[in-house]
A and B are shown apart, each in its own frame.
Chain A
């Protein structure tokens, strides 16, 4: 009897709710809004593999974490390092009814700039970058990677015995440039006499070139290395072979060299995606830039438990993190 009553009440509630759903939302939601329970079709076009232990993996992990709670249907095209191929894919996704197309790479900006006016009902997002090109259907996202870079640079300054440190970037744009600048500033804040070699390979995907640069730095006496982008795996291999310390960024790289990776700055794009998805569901398809940082938990420093990091270095790093988070310390961009 009790069960029957619950069923009856449930049916009445459901009917009432259905009536509300069919009458109320259409009158208040902005044009183009997508209901919170409607499946949102999201496409990700990324320059490297979904398991690259860096840039692409950080975005894939964030999308996966939101998949159920935000009702996302996700399609991923990885290893699209040829920009012209990526352009065709992005166009294809936009024309195929996707609500959001994420072009995950600084190199894809001009593609979105050209496509966005042709697909006004589709929301595009790209990063790391600050510009939406003044388009109402482009979101941009960026990472204050200089913050984590500074923290790790500070540790590098404490760990280096040769006082020679090598920093390798892909192309001097976006979060890679910020990370490199922040890292160098962190080293010099701790050890003003240190020599910090910096170079950019000119490619986001050339793992071999980055390995060669790492090798050159080790030969020049560097005992601490770091690098940014999905092309760092070769350089980490060199760090492992030559037993020099490595600082990672974008994703945890400890699995590649458990004894050499000191820590990694990990990106969590979920806060950015949440804002973008909420915006789309409310009918706002772009026109905003979102940022992850140490302060909003979009970035965190993951210490590698297998690396024998001296307690004073770890304590100093934590102090720098808290100073950045509370605003006592500002890392220049």
Chain B
């Protein structure tokens, strides 16, 4: 255990925790936006997988991570349109249609991977970008300011989303549609348009989350996300539908993941207990959810399709 409590290992662990937290954060922020407008999307994991695979395939073929990211985002947006069409236009039961999107993403990404790639070949992970001056600060610089651009972007999106939700006209519409769509409709807010926009933006972020996950290690495999999308949905509840709360939950998850991995790497966790230890992040998230259950009110119209006059 003493090997863990060294300067190098601790800073490396925190830096890793922030990296592991980022895909969850991006996906959960996107899901927050959708849920605040009243749409529950359980297809996040499938969209992340499709975002990850498309990013991987394009990066593998072109050598450009940037192009891969853009395609991953685009695929997320397309799947967002499909999700919105089912949830908003067709008024499908949101939980079921979301699971359908998840299974579709899981199966298609696997099929495309086996058909077009086969053996997983590595692509270049996104390089770290050192923030001038800040990256030189002892310990802090190593942990927070020597990360890749998508990680900085994810954390910038936290205050940005909070600002949009609480200080803009669009945010007011989103909150109104999520709490009382009939009232919003009566004052001329288009429930359909608002929900389409939030769902497509949310799924775009899920696609970006998949691309981010992929580019952390530069490798794709079947079911790469390992249910990260479902954890992201749970983190929205954990964070009480608030961007800062979602970030806290994501960081908690990232820290536990990084610590478990580091302990495994250092042999602190014996091989025989490694599988059990790997469940720790999920277990802790569930425990935190149980502890927080009922303390916060979810958007009143969450999961309910809107029918004018119904």
Contacts and interface: CB of A to CB of B under 8 A. Distances in A.
A124 interface: no
Contacts of A202: 271, 274-275, 278
B274 A237 contact: no
Interface in B208-232: 217-219, 221, 224
Given A233-B119, A234-B217, A220 B274 contact: no
Contacts of A236: 122
A241 interface: yes
Nearest to B271: A200
Nearest to B15: A219
Contacts of A160: none
Contact of B218 (A50, A52, A237): A237
A205 B223 CA distance: 11
A250 interface: no
Interface string A28-53: 00000000000000000000111111
Nearest to A238: B217
Nearest to A54: B119
B172 interface: no
A211 B119 contact: no
Contacts of B112: none
B164 interface: no
A212 B274 contact: no
A266 B305 CA distance: 60
B122 A256 contact: yes
Contact of A49 (B12, B118, B124, B218): B118
A216 B265 contact: yes
Interface in A54-91: 79
Nearest to A255: B121
A191 interface: no
B271 A234 contact: no
Contact of A51 (B119, B123, B221): B119
Which of A166, A199, A236, A256 has the most C-beta atoms of chain B within 10 angstroms of its own C-beta? A199
Interface in A216-247: 216-217, 219-221, 230, 233-234, 236-238, 240-241
B140 interface: no
B224 A240 contact: no
A215 B264 contact: no
A212 B219 CA distance: 10
Contacts of A206: 221
A15 B16 CA distance: 76
Contacts of B120: 207, 233-234
Given A200-B274, A219-B15, A233 B122 contact: yes
Nearest to B275: A202
Interface string A139-167: 00000000000000000000000000010
B246 to A, nearest CB: 23
A251 B113 CA distance: 22
A260 to B, nearest CB: 11
Contacts of B66: none
Given A199-B265, A216-B16, A233 B9 contact: no
Contact of B261 (A49, A212, A234): A212
B16 A219 contact: yes
Contacts of B16: 215-216, 219
B266 interface: yes
Contacts of A212: 217, 261
B267 interface: yes
B218 A241 contact: yes
B248 interface: no
A172 B271 contact: yes
B118 A211 contact: no
Nearest to A51: B119
- Interface range for A: 35 or more
A233 B121 contact: yes
Interface string A178-207: 000000000000000000011111100111
Contacts of B262: 216, 220
A207 B265 contact: no
Interface string A279-323: 000000000000000000000000000000000000000000000
A86 to B, nearest CB: 15
Contacts of A215: 16, 217
A216 B261 contact: yes
A259 B122 CA distance: 15
Nearest to A206: B221
Contact of B122 (A48, A201, A213, A240): A240
A60 to B, nearest CB: 12
Given A48-B119, A219-B12, A211 B265 contact: no
Contact of B265 (A172, A220, A233): A220
B137 interface: no
Contacts of B217: 208, 211-212, 215, 234, 237-238
A240 B124 CA distance: 8
Interface in B1-41: 8-9, 12, 15-16
Contacts of B9: 220
A280 B224 CA distance: 42
29 contacts: A48-B119, A79-B114, A166-B265, A197-B265, A198-B267, A199-B265, A199-B271, A200-B274, A201-B274, A202-B275, A207-B221, A208-B219, A208-B221, A211-B122, A211-B217, A212-B217, A212-B261, A215-B217, A216-B261, A219-B15, A219-B16, A220-B266, A233-B219, A234-B120, A234-B221, A237-B218, A241-B124, A241-B218, A256-B121
Given A212-B217, A237-B219, 5 more contacts: A49-B119, A199-B265, A234-B221, A256-B121, A256-B122
| The 8 residue pairs across chains A and B that have the minimum distance between CB atoms | A237-B122, A219-B12, A234-B219, A211-B217, A49-B119, A216-B265, A49-B118, A237-B218
